[in-house]
């Protein structure tokens, strides 16, 4: 009889969970100011026209022109900082060119990342869903790193809210899950009423599922063991 110390259903759940966690969302760049998400939704900043988004703080004014470039310190840039010395004196600072834009997705939000010509400054603009807002540009803060200093912004708008349509990857996962459930149900019914099996033996290919779970356990155990050895070695070196 198959050993049931680790239920087959739990093993299946682990395998499915690992598969779903491995899926990452992307937004494929189509122009300098647009991209297409996995579910087919198009994020296009051209809908705002030639509008220059602006945010003011006590010491600086930040301007962003998503689909074009503007003059910033005698260089054409898409995002610029104007340090305010007095109402009539402002010093521009390059924060990123439109040709350097890179699209990523984090926590469901599309992120545009720019770099300036010198290469030591980055700017990120997160496109955040905000029901009821047409477009609000916010300066979130600056982070100083070892190589880069990063200026973080948000553009909040109702136009960035998801359409709730399913992506191709999600549809494939749903279909595979349905096929797996149908396979298990029909397999269990067949094994019980035709093969006269019971317990864990009624699960189709129970031995194979059990082996898969064992491999996962062995993998975790191996990883934890190696990490433990590395930590101990570090402690010995410190001593």
pTM of the entire structure?
0.63
Q: In CATH, what number is assigned to the domain containing residue 152?
A: 2.70.130.10
Domain-ending residue, one of 138, 160, 182: 160
**pLDDT tens-digit readout, 38-78:** 888 899 999 999 999 999 998 999 999 999 999 888 888 99
Domain-ending residue, one of 105, 130, 160: 160
Question: Band of the pLDDT at 236, cuts 50, 70, 90?
Answer: very low
- Evaluate whether residue 118 is within a structural domain: yes
Residue 18: is its pLDDT beyond 90?
no
**pLDDT tens-digit readout, 22-43:** 456 899 999 999 999 988 889 9
Give the whole-angstrom CA distance, residue 112 versus residue 102.
6
**pLDDT tens-digit readout, 186-218:** 887 887 888 777 777 777 776 666 666 566 666
- Evaluate whether residue 37 is within a structural domain: yes
91, 115: one domain:
yes
Instruction: Give 8-71 as a 3 state SS string.
Output: HHHHHHHHHHHHHHCCCCCEEEEECCEEEECCCCEEEHHHHCCCCEEEECCCEEEEECCCCCEE
User: Contact, 3 vs 201, CB < 8 A?
Assistant: no
Give the whole-angstrom CA distance, residue 144 versus residue 217.
41
- Evaluate whether residue 1 is within a structural domain: no
146, 221: one domain:
no
Give the domain range for residue 231.
Answer: 8-21+167-238
201, 222: one domain:
yes
Domain-ending residue, one of 124, 140, 160: 160
- Evaluate whether residue 3 is within a structural domain: no
Give the whole-angstrom CA distance, residue 69 versus residue 118.
17
Bridge pairing between strands 53-56 and 42-44: unpaired
175, 121: one domain:
no
225 contact partners, CB below 8 Å, separation of at least 6: none
Q: Is the dihedral of CA 71, 72, 75, 78 positive or negative?
A: negative
């Amino acid at each position: 009889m198959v050993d049931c110390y680790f239920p087959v259903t739990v093993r299946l759940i682990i395998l499915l969970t690992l598969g779903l966690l491995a899926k990452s969302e992307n937004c494929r760049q189509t122009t300098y100011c647009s991209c297409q998400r996995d579910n087919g939704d198009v994020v296009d900043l051209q809908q705002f026209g030639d509008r220059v988004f602006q945010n003011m703080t006590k010491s600086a004014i930040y301007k962003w022109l998503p689909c074009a470039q503007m003059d910033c310190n005698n260089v054409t840039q898409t995002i610029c900082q104007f340090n305010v010395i007095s109402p009539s004196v402002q010093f521009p600072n390059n924060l990123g060119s439109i040709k350097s834009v890179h699209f990523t997705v984090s926590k469901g939000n599309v992120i545009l990342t720019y770099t300036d010509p010198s290469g030591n400054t980055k700017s990120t603009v997160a496109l955040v869903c905000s029901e009821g807002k047409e477009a609000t540009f916010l300066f979130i803060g600056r982070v100083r790193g070892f190589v880069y200093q990063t200026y973080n912004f948000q553009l909040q708008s109702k136009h960035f809210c998801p359409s709730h349509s399913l992506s191709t990857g999600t549809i494939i996962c749903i279909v595979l899950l349905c096929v797996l459930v149908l396979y298990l149900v029909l397999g269990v019914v067949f094994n019980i009423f035709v093969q006269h099996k019971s317990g864990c033996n009624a699960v189709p290919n129970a031995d194979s599922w059990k082996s898969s779970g064992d491999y996962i356990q062995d993998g975790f155990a191996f990883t934890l063991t190696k990490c433990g050895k590395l930590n101990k070695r570090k402690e010995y070196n410190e001593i």
